């Protein structure tokens, strides 16, 4: 059927073009396999706990996570007492008391993660002028989500494979060549090293960060965090674990959503089947 083909082609074109909108200008973050990928994927609690440890010991020094409360950690498999103990490690400001003074008290499970800086200006002042972004929704606020986060954390000059560097140099050289061509020059700058990219001194090279210059110095390396469960403390594990943890903070209902989805789709398949049969029976008299 001509019509159906054209329609399908149009629909595919729309879908593809929407996908293309997500494409970055630099190189694509490599796809990782996640426990939560796919229709039946769920979070791996042990990995989330490791990821939380990385966040807590490394990222939380600069990055806030305003949307997460200690009580949410119960979803990572901690019991009530463990959640209380984790919360009590932090002090939060409460008050005013009967004298009108603000006071510090140990955090309770209902408290939200404390912000490392009192306000955005203080955060900017301590970090060379740029505010470290809140990480609560980071995995949904970047196009490739956890793939990007993992790749970015492993994307610093000393960690990234030589082949990726060469790829970037080729892309950038090609861009320079095109730019020169447009204004009628034959000479153009070849990019042969990270220095040739001309990043500002205050930023570090990162293969996956848009524009390559990231204000955050490499936060992770091998042995950055010592895991209690014996998982090897490699950079890749750290990066993957914290990326998975950030996926959970961004989309805590992911497990519920997928489980409900399977049930709803099975129900609707049967429902549509029954309705189709009813429709056939009903219309059989007519034709």
Q: What is the distance between the alpha carbons of residues 196 and 182, in angstroms, rounded to a whole number?
A: 21
By CB under 8 A, is residue 162 in contact with other proteins? no
Q: What is the distance between the alpha carbons of residues 64 and 249, in angstroms, rounded to a whole number?
A: 12
By CB under 8 A, is residue 4 in contact with other proteins? no
Q: Which two tokens stand for residue 115?
A: 């912000």
Longest Cα separation, the chain: 86
Least gap, CB of 161 to other proteins (angstroms) = 26
How many chain residues interact with other proteins (CB under 8 A)? 55
Residue in 1, 21, 102, 183 binding other proteins, rule: CB under 8 A: 21
* Paired strand residues for 206: 156
Residue in 26, 109, 116, 213 binding other proteins, rule: CB under 8 A: 109
Residue in 67, 88, 197, 215 binding other proteins, rule: CB under 8 A: 67
By CB under 8 A, is residue 275 in contact with other proteins? yes
Ramachandran assignment for 230, one of left (phi > 0), alpha (psi -120 to 50 degrees), beta (any other): left
Residue in 50, 56, 63, 142 binding other proteins, rule: CB under 8 A: 142
Q: End-to-end alpha-carbon separation of the chain, Å?
A: 22
Q: What x-and-dash track marks residues 252-271 binding other proteins by CB under 8 A? A: xx--xxx-xxx-xx-xxxxx
Residue in 18, 102, 183, 228 binding other proteins, rule: CB under 8 A: 18
Return the range that interacts with other proteins (CB under 8 A); candidates 54-62, 196-204, 214-222, 279-287. 279-287
Q: What is the distance between the alpha carbons of residues 101 and 88, in angstroms, rounded to a whole number?
A: 21
Q: Which residue, 15 or 161, has its beta carbon nearer to other proteins?
A: 15
In whole angstroms, how far apart are CA 239 and each of 149, 159, 225, 230, 269? 8, 12, 11, 16, 40
Asked if 243 and 51 count as a contact pair (C-beta separation under 8 A), the reply is: yes
What is the gyration radius of the CA atoms in the chain, in angstroms?
25
Residue in 8, 85, 125, 141 binding other proteins, rule: CB under 8 A: 141
Q: Which two tokens stand for residue 4?
A: 């159906």
By the criterion CB under 8 A, which residues form the site for other proteins? 6, 10, 13-14, 17-18, 20-22, 39, 66-67, 69, 71-72, 109-110, 133, 136-137, 140-143, 145, 210, 250, 252-253, 256-258, 260-262, 264-265, 267-272, 274-279, 281-283, 285-287
């Amino acid at each position: 059927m001509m019509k159906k083909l054209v329609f399908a082609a149009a629909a595919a074109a729309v879908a593809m073009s929407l996908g293309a909108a997500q494409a970055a200008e630099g190189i694509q973050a490599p796809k990782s396999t996640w426990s939560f990928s796919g229709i039946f994927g769920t979070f791996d609690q042990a990995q989330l706990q490791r990821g939380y440890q990385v966040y807590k010991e490394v990222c939380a020094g600069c990055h806030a996570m305003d949307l997460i409360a200690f009580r949410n950690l119960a979803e990572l498999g901690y019991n009530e007492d463990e959640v209380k103990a984790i919360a009590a490690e932090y002090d939060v400001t409460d008050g005013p008391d009967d004298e009108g003074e603000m006071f510090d008290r140990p955090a309770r499970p209902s408290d939200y993660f404390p912000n490392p800086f009192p306000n955005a200006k203080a955060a900017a002042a301590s970090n060379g002028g740029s505010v470290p972004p809140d990480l609560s929704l980071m995995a949904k606020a970047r196009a490739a989500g956890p793939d990007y986060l993992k790749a970015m954390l492993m994307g610093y000059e000393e960690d990234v494979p030589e082949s990726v560097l060469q790829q970037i140099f080729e892309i950038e050289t090609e861009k320079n060549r095109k730019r020169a061509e447009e204004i009628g020059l034959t000479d153009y700058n070849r990019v042969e090293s990270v220095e040739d990219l001309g990043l500002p001194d205050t930023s570090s090279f990162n293969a996956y960060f848009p524009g390559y210059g990231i204000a955050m110095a490499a936060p992770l390396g091998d042995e950055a965090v010592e895991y209690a469960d014996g998982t090897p403390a490699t950079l890749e594990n750290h990066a993957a674990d914290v990326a998975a943890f950030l996926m959970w903070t961004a989309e805590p209902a992911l497990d519920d959503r997928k489980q409900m989805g399977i049930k709803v789709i099975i129900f609707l398949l049967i429902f549509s089947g029954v309705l189709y049969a009813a429709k056939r029976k009903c219309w059989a008299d007519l034709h």
